Structure 1
């Protein structure tokens, strides 16, 4: 498929952002690249781990842990789904089509190759963020902020168009939301089984009585536990996911 036609507005944005990038000193360029490729992925990983530690205290811990696990798996699924999309759209990188408007920041890591639409980094980051928001709104909001930073750095480095980033956000959101019921149907029984295992129990529950739901008991209503622990439960009406 031929490359997406670029509206004048998008090229104007590239030119403005490129002018900003051109004024950055070398240390700032390295900081931007390091943020995009290392700091944001590391921070997202830390947020997922924090969510896992938090939800293990829930009375319905197996279901909550399954939702956190889905937030990580959703990133992998979004990356895989994007592979055929990139090949089908075949959009060149902005520095290839508009070298006069784009300043490429590499930070010594080399210029990216491959097609531009959609941004892998944006789709993966947003998939994690939306997946976490389903189970823990506070940490999910923090992850959304990190995803926005990730998207901006991709444009600032000159490796993606703004619409590449927007498309990545849409793809990550769609994967995390639309596949969540199927994922939870598979992951929740696995988490409950781990909760009954002496060796694996600590992966799912953090304290005695937290896995009542795993043993067939009735878990505490989501709203009450969410108020006590400060985290949302992965229970949505008729779906088993948190709002």
Structure 2
């Protein structure tokens, strides 16, 4: 399994070198920005997107708010499940990091912790990318809850994949595999997951203490206007009309 990219030139390795070569041409501040964006920035942005989507869902009507909240709960659960699935998958494939197999790569992210969940040194395995898996799972999960915000999340996941190849810590196929894994876990398991989560969310919505999590209780109530009654004129105008009638 480790020989996925060890035997001669191929598209995967060629694309890795082409994208990673951009790091040699870019200024140092740009490399640091890309590294931090891929490692921390985009995952944080996706979490903030989930919170933003939740804020908007709470203002919807009762049925829509419950469905959106259930989908938003499923998004991080699916991302965590995808990472759990990836842990044995990485061990089974056993693909070394690209800088272990190929020379001349510009590795921009030195130090421990390249794996989002492993916390190991940079000798851990490469396929599939945890960051790409997490980002795409959150993006697709957001799309299930809110298509417009979900498209932004999917776009951020694509940028995350680019950053991981740019920094030299993943092959392009590591990223593509992460995208596929995150998407598959979210969409394949969404029907049974939402079937289980929706009644739980409904019960939560009916709770006096925790209902605010699902739906905002503060609403602007429009005043009822009786159109059959003519508006009452001011006091001064009524006096003037009475004098004219007399």
Q: Please say whether Structure 1 and Structure 2 have the same fold, judged by a TM-score greater than 0.5.
A: yes
Deviations 1:128-171, CA, capped at 9 Å, x for gaps: 11111112011100001110110000000000000000010000
Deviation at 1:73, TM superposition (A): 1.0
Among 44, 47, 61, the alignment partner of 2:46 is: 44
The SS at the match of 2:49 is helix
Deviation at 1:5, TM superposition (A): 3.5
Matched, 1:171 2:175: no
* Cα pair 1:3 1:92 within 8 Å, conserved: no
Deviation at 1:208, TM superposition (A): 6.5
The SS at the match of 1:179 is helix
* Cα pair 2:70 2:194 within 8 Å, conserved: yes
Matched, 1:95 2:99: yes
| Alpha-carbon separation, structure 2, partners of 1:109 and 1:115 | 13
- Correspondence for 2:166: 156
- Correspondence for 1:104: 107
| Alpha-carbon separation, structure 1, partners of 2:66 and 2:113 | 43
| Alpha-carbon separation, structure 1, partners of 2:152 and 2:20 | 28
Deviations 1:32-54, CA, capped at 9 Å, x for gaps: 11101111011001100011111
The SS at the match of 2:145 is coil
Figure out how many residues of one structure are paired with residues of the other and give that number.
208
Among 187, 205, 225, the alignment partner of 1:195 is: 205
Q: TM-score, normalised by structure 1?
A: 0.80
| Alpha-carbon separation, structure 2, partners of 1:110 and 1:161 | 17
CA 110–82 in structure 1, closer or farther in 2 if over 3 Å, else same? closer
Matched, 1:18 2:20: yes
Deviations 1:98-144, CA, capped at 9 Å, x for gaps: 123x2111267676331000000001100011111112011100001
CA 11–5 in structure 1, closer or farther in 2 if over 3 Å, else same? closer
Deviation at 1:14, TM superposition (A): 1.8
- Correspondence for 1:2: 2
Q: Which has the larger radius of gyration?
A: 2
Deviations 1:186-213, CA, capped at 9 Å, x for gaps: 211111111111110110011469xxxx
Among 11, 31, 37, the alignment partner of 1:29 is: 31
Gaps of 5+ in 1: 210-243
Q: TM-score, normalised by structure 2?
A: 0.79
* Cα pair 2:82 2:134 within 8 Å, conserved: yes
Among 131, 149, 152, the alignment partner of 2:141 is: 131
Gaps of 5+ in 2: 115-121, 220-246
Alpha carbon RMSD of aligned pairs, Å?
1.8
- Correspondence for 2:82: 78
